[in-house]
Amino acid sequence: MRQNGLNCSSMISNERPSPYGHRSHGQSNPKPAVAEDTLKSDKIQIERKTFVFTLKENPRGRFLRITEDVNGRRDTIIIPATGLDEFKRIFDDMLASSTATPPKTEQ
């Protein structure tokens, strides 16, 4: 069977043991907490999703943390401040494309 140009029968299953051995997540040598200062925070609700935008700073620099919360399940991305202009440029381009392209009608 082929999917997206890949031979699915040769794909590695997640059920196979890792060649790197057993890894216990969160139990060995936890990283020490890094002090973070919150510089600004804002929240928006879009349909059933809540997005929290938090501008923070720690000893390594400033960053924007974007957290999506959907019924208690959270996903987060972090963008270093040095990449915010490029992130905004691409975001603005996606917004312009979305506005300029009419939605497909359901058939």
pLDDT for 36-71, tens place per residue? 999 999 999 999 999 999 999 999 999 999 999 999
d(CA 10, CA 6): 8
Asked, for residue 28, whether it belongs to a domain, the answer is no
> Which residues form the domain of 45?
35-99
pLDDT for 61-98, tens place per residue? 999 999 999 999 999 999 999 999 999 999 999 999 99
User: How many domains does the structure of the chain reveal?
Assistant: 1
Asked, for residue 80, whether it belongs to a domain, the answer is yes
CA angle 93, 99, 100 (to 5 degrees): 90
d(CA 47, CA 28): 39
Asked, for residue 42, whether it belongs to a domain, the answer is yes
Asked, for residue 18, whether it belongs to a domain, the answer is no
CATH code, domain with 66: 3.10.450.700
Contacts of 22-26 with CB under 8 Å at 24 or more apart are none
